[in-house]
Amino acid sequence: MFKKPLAHQSNATPIRSSARRQLINAIFAQYPLLLSSGRGEAKEQQDEDAIAVDKEIGRLIVPEGVRLGTFETSAEIQGTLYYSPSGDPLWMTIGRSSSTYIPTLCLLSLSLPRPPLPTIQIYHPLPPPLFTGAPLFLPAVRNLNNLHLIPDVPEGGVVAFVASDNNGSEVRYVGAGIVVAQGGIRGAVERRKRNRSEGREVEEGKFCDVLYMINDHLWQMGSKPTLLTFTLPVPSPGLAPPPASEDSGLSENPIPVSESIVEMKDLRIDDSAAPVTPADLSPSDISTLLNQALYQTLSTSESLSFPMPASTLYSAHIFPNRPAYIPKAQRDEVVIGKSEWKKLTKWMKEISKDGVIKMKESKGEIVVQGYDAKHMALQTHKPFLTVSEEEARATKKATREAAEATGAEASGSKGKSRHIEELWRPSGSGIAFWEAAGVETTTLQPSSQLKASFEDYVNRNSLSDPSDRRMIVLDDSLAKAIGVKMGSSESRLVREEVIRRLRSGVSWSVSIDGVVKKGAMQPVLISVKTRQGRKTVTLISGLETFGIDLEDFAEELKKLCAGSTAIQPLQGASPKLNLREIMVQGTQTKIVTDALVDKGVPKRYIKEGDGDKKKK
């Protein structure tokens, strides 16, 4: 199943404590061999000891902080994986909402009281086809002459594969599979025996499909723990009773196969099963996630340049580097205002005391001077997929799929998609209002936060007109923020007008691929003008904002438009700014727009100018 990389893998999300307890109970019901037998002199004490041991086993096989994620293999097989907090896949299910749990190699590497699955030993070295997704054939199985060592697993049952470096009785786990032979393992062995007794040189075909093998992509997803050796257990029942006088040195306690068989035929779609919902994020959880985003930023980013205002570090670098495994519905909650610190200043001071960063406070603003790259938190940090990287992947995938759907061919001139985000910060007379609305006034905020904070303030203070929900009844703080005197005719304004005035009253910046620039976002301007009689030219300005090389783009437009191009200083701009524009022969608005979109400039940031003004 996992011979190739997964076709799709969702973000792993934490599950609730109640869902974790249900999961443990379901696994114990499915694998009673994992439960302790309980030992003690008195029955009452024995039960207490057994309960305590079972709780420890439960914490071992489903640790606190376990996370859940869905997957789809390259063969379009869907399923669910349960991960440890450190990212090791522990359990898997096959099919949508399946309630049959299969242990992975990472789980089987733990010190379990007894093997949860029946085991069959295969020859060492392992047959190479097993690593390419081929099924397991009966001749690869050891102990065919010692049938008491082979478990009686029916068709559809799941078995674990074990192997020994010297083909002895000390084995370790190497994989797992589903028995597909008619009549199960017993049926396959009996047909082999019958063929040999009748002199037919016909070997039994495949009898087991491989679920996973060591070193496949499922194994690579985890930390690749050490697989401990153990004595090959004697199954009960086996395909034959054990010899009475044989002292094989194998495990003395027979393992009841009937209690450890997982049948894939029981895997079914259960639409009535309640979906596992992510746990609510506490302030402590949010603080942990923000710290992880900070460590990710400092340990992986190569574009950081210090000194840097703390607000810029937070909005342009830490915020996009939040972990992608945060559920999308909860990502808006992972902000400094909902953390344990509440304020960016308090967080920066705390991590500065820890020695992660060096900072200086100047006129009430925190400036980060640098950081300690050798700090233990950064040295031990494990990189992860970030929110911005996930969004970039999704954009790239959508673009690729759209191009494939329309039959478009990839062009070497296409640049990467740009991550553009408008940011704002309270300023002027509106600061008091935004503080009352719960907005951090020293931190750059995403544009969506402006309307969200406004609506929250209106709802908390009941400012909507009951007779007309479109109208807002201004209070003192809101009126001052938008420049309205209380008692005037503008004491009631349309909601959209209030938002427009709020937007014009804050300080705007723009983040392009993580680089923050002050000022509102200026679009690329395309205008068509007439030169020398009836000749027309297309002028393109504002390319510097998006980091587009004018010389390369002019050369590209020369080929796309099949006409001459030139680069000239931007008329009306100060020479100190060194702003330039591209002039293309003819009316080329559509071609230029398409070329800009291919370079990652969103269409909403491409504006067509008025062109020549008609003389009166």
| Structural domain boundaries in the chain | 8-266, 283-387, 422-515, 523-608
Q: What's the pLDDT tens digit per position in 510-565?
A: 877 667 777 777 889 999 988 766 788 899 999 888 878 899 899 999 989 888 89
What is the average per-residue pLDDT within 74-80?
86
Which range, 206-210, 343-347, 405-409, 518-522, is most confident? 343-347
Can you give the pLDDT at residue 271? Answer: 37
- Which of 314, 284, 275 is closest to 298 using CA atoms? 314
Amino acid (1-letter code) at residue 424: W
State whether residue 327 is helix, strand or coil. coil
Q: Read off the amino acid at residue 130.
A: L
Distance of CA 278 to CAs 59, 60, 272, 324, Å? 19, 21, 18, 14
Tokens of 368: 């980060």
pLDDT at 367: 92
The region, left, alpha or beta by phi > 0 then psi within -120 to 50, assigned to residue 295 is: alpha
Task: Determine the Cα–Cα distance for residues 485 and 489; give it in Å rounded to an integer.
Answer: 9
Name the CATH superfamily for 422-515: SWIB/MDM2 domain (1.10.245.10)
Q: How far apart are alpha carbons 156 and 261 in whole angstroms?
A: 9
Whether the bond between 129 and the residue before it is cis, its omega within 30 degrees of 0, is no
Q: Say which residues have a Cβ less than 8 Å from residue 174's Cβ, sequence separation at least 6.
A: 105, 122, 126, 161, 162, 163, 213, 214, 227
The H helix count followed by the E strand count for the chain is 16, 30
Q: For 359-415, how does the pLDDT look when each residue is reduced to its tens digit (9 = 90+)?
A: 998 877 899 999 998 888 888 777 888 888 888 888 777 767 766 665 544 444 444
Average of per-residue pLDDT values in the chain: 82
**Whether the predicted pLDDT of 585 surpasses 80:** yes
The pLDDT of residue 122: 92
Distance of CA 119 to the CA centre of its chain: 34
Q: How far apart are the first and last CA of the chain?
A: 75
- For residue 69, what are the β-bridge partners? 81
Asked which of 29-33, 136-140, 425-429, 517-521 is least confident by mean pLDDT, the reply is 517-521
Rounded to the nearest 5 degrees, what angle is found at the Cα of 101, between the Cα atoms of 99 and 104? Answer: 155
Residue 100 has pLDDT above 60, yes or no: yes
* pLDDT (tens digit per residue) in 145-156: 888 899 999 988
DSSP 263: E
Query: Which range has the worst mean pLDDT, 21-35, 144-158, 254-268, 339-353?
Result: 254-268
At 235, which helix (H) or strand (E)?
A: strand 235-236
CA-wise closest residue to 349 among 366, 362, 372: 366
**Element (DSSP H or E) covering residue 72:** strand 67-72
Q: Nearest CA to 377 among 354, 393, 397?
A: 354
Q: Which of 39-43, 347-351, 439-443, 472-476 has the lowest mean pLDDT?
A: 39-43
User: Can you list the positions of beta strands (E) in 474-579?
Assistant: 492-494, 507-512, 515-518, 524-531, 535-541, 565-569
Asked whether 585 and 563 are in contact (CB, 8 A), the reply is: yes
Angle at 502 between CA 500 and CA 505, to 5 degrees: 110
What pLDDT, on the 0 to 100 scale, is given for residue 241?
Answer: 86
DSSP string, 349-391: HHHHHTTSEEEEEETTEEEEEEE-TT-HHHHSPPP--BHHHHH
For residue 174, what pLDDT is reported? 94
pLDDT in tens, 424-457: 889 888 898 998 888 888 888 888 888 888 988 9
Residue 265 has pLDDT above 70, yes or no: no
Q: Are 58 and 51 in contact (CB under 8 A)?
A: no
> Does the pLDDT of residue 348 top 90, yes or no?
yes
CA–centroid distance for 456 within its chain? 29
135, burial (CB in 10 Å: exposed 0-12, middle 13-18, buried 19+):
middle
3-state secondary structure of 279: coil
Reference 396, options 411, 414, 416; nearest CA is: 416
> Model's pTM, two decimal places?
0.45
Residues of the chain with pLDDT > 90, as a percent, come to 23
Q: What is the pLDDT of residue 248?
A: 47
Q: What is the CA angle 270-274-280, rounded to 5?
A: 145
Mean pLDDT score, 459-480: 88
On whether the CB atoms of residues 444 and 458 are closer than 8 A, the answer is: no
CATH architecture of the region 523-608: 2-Layer Sandwich (3.30)
Give the pLDDT band (50/70/90) at residue 274: very low
Burial 36-54 (b: 16+ CB within 10 A, else e): bebeeeeeeeeeeebeebb
Q: What gap in Å lies between CA 237 and CA 151, rounded to an integer?
A: 6
Q: What is the pLDDT of residue 424?
A: 86
Q: What is the pLDDT of residues 158-176, one digit of tens each?
A: 999 999 888 778 899 999 9
- Residue 326 sits at the vertex; the CA angle it makes with 435 and 97, to the nearest 5 degrees, is 140
For domain 8-266, the CATH architecture is: Roll (3.10)
CA–CA separation, 382 and 223 (whole Å): 12
CA angle 412, 415, 421 (to 5 degrees): 170
Topology of domain 283-387, CATH: Arc Repressor Mutant, subunit A (1.10.10)
Dist. CA 212–CA 109, nearest whole Å? 14
Q: What is the mean pLDDT of residues 125-133?
A: 79
**pLDDT > 70 in the chain, percent:** 86
